[in-house]
Structure formats: structure tokens, C-alpha cells
Structure 1
Amino acid sequence: MTRLNLFAPDVRENPYPFYAALRRESPVCQVDPNGMWVVTRYDDIVSALKDTQVFSSAGMRLATEPPYLKRPNPLSDSPILADPPRHTQLRNLINRAFTASTVSSVEPHMRSTAARLADELVQRRTADFISAFACRAQIRVLVQLMGLDPSLERQFVRWTADMVSVGTTSPDDHQRHDELRQTIDEMERFMQELLRSRRDRMENDLVSSLLRSQVNDAVLTDKDVIALLLLMLVAGLETTETLLTHMVLILAQRPAWMDRLRAEPALIPRFIEEVLRFEPPVHAVMRLTLAETELGGVRVPAHAIVALLLGSGLRDEARFQDPDCFDPERRAQASLAFGHGAHFCLGASLARAQARVALEELLSRCRRIELRAERLEWNSALNTRCPRALPIEVIAA
């Protein structure tokens, strides 16, 4: 039997029929590239996410520090790449700084930004939604959270694109290696200077809150804070941008929902939850097995790279009725879209707020959003699945 290649063009375009076949026939199995293991059923994914002693996040640091870098990557020290008890300690300290009030404090800026970008979309009428709205909306929120100058927007977008490509760059692309090392050097210098300036003068922003955070005698080191800020830039931008993009793509494909949501705005949160289930912003999470284990009736060897396919688990027939139907009125919710257990996403509430505010501002200005591409080209990252561009035409309300 030929192994499934997750990066094959037909799989990238629509992976869900392939996932369904794996759930039926080989729910835990090896696939290409490189014979990695995949887990496709909801319950098995949850079991792996809970078992941090066998399915290690820290083991995946290798993906952020390929040999060609020849230097540490500050992103490797982020909580997403730590196991308990280190992860627990970091999480407790971060939770002191990243609270519900953090999200509420930035919502007015989030709304004014979304309103301006939506107005620009209506004026332009045609645009790539990702570059014109999704990316700009999220990066401006992150800049505001950190108390930084808005002029840094383009620089942050470039840094993010470079950091995302670290694990997928060819070992033979030496020019690209030099560019990525330069980006990491730039980011580290910028973040170190930012922390020095905040220590000299604390402000009412997330950076200052992280520096002040303390639980008993434990505090975050500069290395910890820099890693978290870089994680917010890289993971926060990519995942929220993906959520906003899929939200608008689904509205373009199902225009009746624009009328329905305008008439019943109370449905907006449930609509967003169904987007999270139907096209989760994090499509897969990676783990490394620290010991041989059994999952779904299959023996998985030690030191195996395992992809927990959230995109498959959230279409699992055993968990969701008629899972390939987009139905915001279904009762089952998509909590798995932001992970589960110890590594549940810190930015989940921020992403949901961003999606809600963006949708409210778009609905107030746009009668229809129409797709202007016969076929979309999809990205080649395993952890996210998103079009490289989303050409749309906006019909004003």
C-alpha cells in the first residue's frame, strides 16, 4: 500500500477525504514525508496531548534549530516547546501577565483597526484579503499589546515569515540560511533592547507585565520573555491570520450566512466556533515520543516524530455528526482547535475576540464577499493550512 504524502498537491487542496480514509483504515500510521507518524482520531489525539511524559513537546526543539542555523534559536525557549514541570512553571508566570483584562484592554484598538481595514476593502473593492486585512489586523494588535511603534509592522511581518520557514528551508539553500541567521540576530537585538528600555521605565503593556510577573520566588528570565514575545509574533500572527482567512473564505462560499449573521448577531460566536472546527487555525501539532507506546491499538516506537492531526480529529465522525457539513448551530464545540490540556493555547481568547470584532466590522460594511479565483494555492506548512492568497471582491452593504 502506498503511503499517503501529506504534501501532495491534491492532499493540500482538500485533505479531509484522505483523513477520513485514515480514520477508517489506519488511524495511527506512518506517512510521507519521511515516514512520520500521524494520529487522526479525536480521542487518540486528546490522549496523546494529555500524555506529556511520552509525547514530548520539548523534543520538537530540533525543528526550530536545524543544524544549518549553527546557533541557538530564541524561539526554542518558548513554552510551546517545553514539557512539565518547566512548562507548568512558565505557564503560571505567563498567566499572571496575560489575563482576560489584557484582551479587553486591547479590544478598542482591535475594533478601530478592523473598521479602518474594512473601510479600505470597501473602497478598493478587490483585494487579497490576507495581505489587505488578515495580516495587518493581527500584527497591529500585537504591536499594540507590546506597546511598540506601529511603524514596525512591516519588519514584524518579515521576521514572522522568516521564522516560519526555518523548519522547512532546504539544507542546501545556503543564501537563505544566511538570511535566516541575520533575521534571528536582528530579532534578538531588538528584543533585548526592548526589555532594557522597559526595565528602565515600566509601562502599561504586556512586556512590562511579563517582566513584573512573579509566582512565589520564581520570575521570568529575559530569555523566557523574549521567547514568549517571539512566539506571539510567529504563532500568534500565523494562526489568527489563518482563522480570519478561513472565516472569510467560508462566507464567500456560503453567502447566505452573511445575511443570517447580520439578522442574528448573537450567532456570531457560534459561527466562529464552527469555523474553528471546520478549518482549525492549527492544523497539526508535532510531538516526539520519548518511549515506545501504544496508541489506537498501534505500537509507536520511541524517538518517533508524530503529527497529531487536529484537522482530522475535528472532522471525526465518532465525535461530530455529519462532520463535513459546516453547521454553526451544531451543539458540539471545537475546543480541540486550540489544543488540549497543558498546552491549550494562551492566545485563544485573543484570537476569538479578533475574529468576532473583524466579523462584526466586515458585516456592517459588506453585503457580499465574493471569491475571485477559480482555484486557490495552498501553503506547504504542516502545522497550518491556509491559502497563500485569497482574492476577493467586496460588495458594499
Structure 2
Amino acid sequence: MSNSTGNNALPPYSHELDWPEGLEPYRIIDETGSQSEPYEHYKWMRKNAPVLRVKHEDSDVWMISRFEDVRNALRKPKLFRSQVHEVQPLAFLTLMDNADHTRLRTVVAAAFTPKNISATEDLIREIAAERLDAMIASRGGEVIENFARPLTMAMISSIVKIPIDDIDQVSFWADQMFTYFARIARNAPGLPNDEQHARDFFKYLNENLRRLYDEGSQSVGGNIARSWLDDGALTEQEATELCGFVFVSGFETTARLIAGAFRELHYNPSLLGRLRNEPDAPARFVEELVRMRGPVHRVVRRTTEDTEMQGIPIPAGSTLRLLIASANRDESVWPHANEFDIDRKADGHFGFGYGIHTCLGAPLARLETLVTTQLLGQKVASITFDHELDIVYLKGNSMIVGPETLRVDLVPSK
């Protein structure tokens, strides 16, 4: 990677390229759902347009699809900044750089170490087993609503200490806040009242933080409250929005990842037996799942100076989307990368981010998915669904890809 733009001409836009039959030109926002499973787009881009220029409103956005280019950008946070807006829209860790990122992350990081998260395993197993048993008794059901979301939301609620009695209202607000965040920070489509609902959620979280402070709670929420009210390490706004970020990050992506586990056991039914009989198979399954079906498909960066990728000049101030899900399927790194193989060495992927922006909740997401995988191996003989009727994909989002709903049929083990 060079810091000189040279004399190279800018490449054509995505919509000007000759895409293969069946693939619409890659767009910033997937409003039609044609990019709901964008892996064929990524494969073509890696080969033909690894630095893809996409026209968006009054500025270009660059899509970076190869592993090496994504890694190089992630390794240079001074050249490729996470803070893409001059004025920070929300106190979310994914939007921050350097001192502010470190200051906020330090407040919550201790709760998400592997050692501390391992203490939650019994509760995860209890909730997951109860939810899975109910689905098995019904011979199946919708995975997100009946299993993945209740499990992940219950766990992050217990860690942050958001009252479970309010969970339906909180779930609605959290969805609205995520939509609002995606709209103002990632140019995704919004909803008519998403900002007002997000502000209602922040008001609720603020009141909850004050309650946790008064109670002397040792939860993540309590620590955020003390960092605001005692130490002054956080402003009131930062404390409130950080709490919202930790909560939503704690269930939204992991629920999609868990749904991916159900999918792969439908596509590869023989793996259920391996999960049941090989003690180390569940952990290898989870790591390959994160590589191949990680729900976060892209991270956004902004260049601080003129640079170059693959011989293409990228001006200072440009917005880039590093397609980590494409990088995770780069055939130059993982042969037969579009095949799910729990025997491959899957480490080195970007499914949980990289460097200073490695996902804070990765230990929790891994454990929740591991426990789910173990229970599926123990309790289920087969997982099936109709690909045309039973799966509906998210669309329109600028960051997360995966099932919005997934209905499965389950046959219990004898």
C-alpha cells in the first residue's frame, strides 16, 4: 500500500461495470434484498474489482473485498480512521478512535474478559436448554424469536442489569435505536420515528443507570454509572449511549450468528453426529461459523490522507467499507472458502473485528454459540427447513447480514 495517488485514473462505478448475469451491481444500501446473501457479489469483486467504487449521493464509497487489503487497512488506524463523521453522532465504540475509544472501552472491558464471561456459562446453558427443549417439544419453530434472541437478550440484560420485566419494551426500543444508529452513522434506510424511539430508550437507560448507581450495583451498568457520576470519566450523554451500545451489541449480532448454526446443521446434517461424539468439534464448529457466516459484513473507515490500493488512487477524506465477510472467504487464504469445514484452521478471520476494534463481546458470543452448538448435538437428530419458504433475510441494513426469521423443523435425538 502506497501513500501516493500517482497518475492512475479512477475506476468505473459499480453500476458501470459488466456484472455477471443474475448479479445486480453492488450498492451501498440493499433496499431490494438482492444482496441479502452477497457472497457471489464478493467472489466476483475479489477477482474483478477488489477496490470497487460505488456512487452514493454526493460522494464515492469504496468497497474493499480482498483479505490482504482489508487487513492492511485495519492495521493502520491513523490512515484509516473509524470516526468517519466530523461530529460524533453517538458514543458508540465502533465510531471512535484513539483516546476516546480507549476511555469508553476501558469502562466496560473488564466484564467481558474470557474469565468473567466463563462464569455465566451455567446460566447460558440453563436458558438455552429451556428454550431448545420447548422448540423440540413443538417439533421446531422460528429460531430468532423462540431461541436466539431470548437467549442473547436475557444474558446481556443480566450483565448490564436491565430489568427483564421491561424486556418487550426494551426490545422494541433497541431495534429502533439500532435502526437510528444505522441511518445517521451508516447511511442505511431509517424508520419514520426511529429518532424519537431511540431518545425514549436513552431516557429509560439514563434512569436505569441512576437506579444502579443508588443501589451500588457491581454490574456493567453500575460501573458505567459510577464512571459518570463519581469519576467524571464519562459525560452523562456518553454513559447513556455507551450503555445502549453495549446492550444492543450484546444480542443483535449473536442472534444472527446462532441462527447461522441452525442453517449449517441443515446444510451439513452429518455434523450433528460429530458435535455429539467429538469433544472438540463444537469449538471448531463455532470458529468456522464465525469465519463463514459472521453477521457483521463490513466496517467503515475514512482516509486521513491520499493513499492507494491495488494501484487505484483513493483521496484523503474518502469513505471505505472494508468487507470483512468477503475477506473471510478469500480463497487465497482459505482454500474452498465457501465450503463449511470444521477441520480447517479458521483462526485469523475478521468475524469479531481486528486490533483495537476487536469485538468487546466476542467471548460472550463465542460461549453462547458454543453452548447452543453443544446442546444441538446432544438433543437434536436433524434440523431441516425449506429454503424458499422458511428463511427471510434482513435487507436495507448497512452492516449486518443474515436471517431476519428462520423457521426450522427439529427431530429429537432418541
TM-score range, shorter chain: 0.7 to 0.9
Structure 1: gaps (5+ residues):
66-75
Structure 1 residue 212, shift from structure 2 partner: 4.8
For the residues of structure 1 that align with 2:267 and 2:111, how far apart are their CA atoms? 39
TM-score by length of 1: 0.88
Contact 1:129 1:245 in 2 (8 A): yes
Q: How does 1:136-151 map to 2 (within 5 A)?
A: 136-151=150-165
Task: Provide closer, same or farther for how the CA distance between residues 32 and 256 of structure 1 changes in structure 2, counting only shifts above 3 A.
Answer: farther
For the residues of structure 1 that align with 2:82 and 2:258, how far apart are their CA atoms? 27
For the residues of structure 2 that align with 1:183 and 1:339, how far apart are their CA atoms? 29
Identity over aligned pairs, percent: 27
Contact 1:377 1:388 in 2 (8 A): yes
Selected match of 2:275 from 238, 261, 281: 261
> Which stretch shows the higher mean deviation, 49-58 or 352-361?
49-58
Q: Supply the AA of the counterpart residue of 2:365.
A: A
1:156-195 deviation per Cα after TM superposition (whole angstroms, max 9, x unaligned)? 22122212222349x9x99x43x22321221121111112
Contact 2:66 2:326 in 1 (8 A): yes
1:231-258 deviation per Cα after TM superposition (whole angstroms, max 9, x unaligned)? 1222322210111011111111111111
Tell me whether 1:385 sits opposite 2:401 in the alignment. Answer: yes
Tell me whether 1:394 sits opposite 2:378 in the alignment. Answer: no
Q: Which residue of 1 aligns with 2:381?
A: 367
Tell me whether 1:12 sits opposite 2:35 in the alignment. Answer: yes
Tell me whether 1:329 sits opposite 2:343 in the alignment. Answer: yes
Task: Provide closer, same or farther for how the CA distance between residues 334 and 9 of structure 1 changes in structure 2, counting only shifts above 3 A.
Answer: farther
Contact 1:97 1:213 in 2 (8 A): no
For the residues of structure 1 that align with 2:327 and 2:153, how far apart are their CA atoms? 29
Q: Which residue of 1 aligns with 2:199?
A: 185
Selected match of 1:351 from 365, 380, 397: 365
For the residues of structure 1 that align with 2:111 and 2:92, how far apart are their CA atoms? 15
Structure 1 residue 218, shift from structure 2 partner: 7.4
1:91-142 deviation per Cα after TM superposition (whole angstroms, max 9, x unaligned)? 3333344433431232222111101100110112131111111111111111
Q: Supply the AA of the counterpart residue of 1:5.
A: Y
Tell me whether 1:31 sits opposite 2:54 in the alignment. Answer: yes
Q: Supply the AA of the counterpart residue of 1:188.
A: F
Q: Supply the AA of the counterpart residue of 2:218.
A: N
Structure 1 residue 393, shift from structure 2 partner: 0.6
Q: Supply the AA of the counterpart residue of 1:18.
A: H
Structure 1 residue 9, shift from structure 2 partner: 5.4
Task: Provide closer, same or farther for how the CA distance between residues 371 and 273 of structure 1 changes in structure 2, counting only shifts above 3 A.
Answer: same
Structure 1 residue 283, shift from structure 2 partner: 0.9
Structure 1 residue 297, shift from structure 2 partner: 2.4
Q: Supply the AA of the counterpart residue of 1:52.
A: P
SS in 2 for 1:161: helix
Contact 1:159 1:187 in 2 (8 A): yes
Structure 2: gaps (5+ residues):
1-11, 18-24
Task: Provide closer, same or farther for how the CA distance between residues 295 and 102 of structure 1 changes in structure 2, counting only shifts above 3 A.
Answer: same
Structure 1 residue 56, shift from structure 2 partner: 1.9
Task: Provide closer, same or farther for how the CA distance between residues 281 and 61 of structure 1 changes in structure 2, counting only shifts above 3 A.
Answer: farther
Q: Supply the AA of the counterpart residue of 1:246.
A: G
Q: How does 1:32-71 map to 2 (within 5 A)?
A: 35-60=60-85, 65=89
For the residues of structure 1 that align with 2:285 and 2:56, how far apart are their CA atoms? 34
TM-score by length of 2: 0.84
SS in 2 for 1:390: strand
Tell me whether 1:132 sits opposite 2:146 in the alignment. Answer: yes
1:260-297 deviation per Cα after TM superposition (whole angstroms, max 9, x unaligned)? 11111311111100011111121111122233221232
Structure 1 residue 334, shift from structure 2 partner: 4.5
Structure 1 residue 13, shift from structure 2 partner: 4.4
Tell me whether 1:21 sits opposite 2:44 in the alignment. Answer: yes
Aligned-residue Cα RMSD (Å) equals: 2.5
SS in 2 for 1:335: coil
1:315-374 deviation per Cα after TM superposition (whole angstroms, max 9, x unaligned)? 111211221111111124153111111111110111000101112223222111111342
Q: Which residue of 2 aligns with 1:236?
A: 250
More helix by share: 1
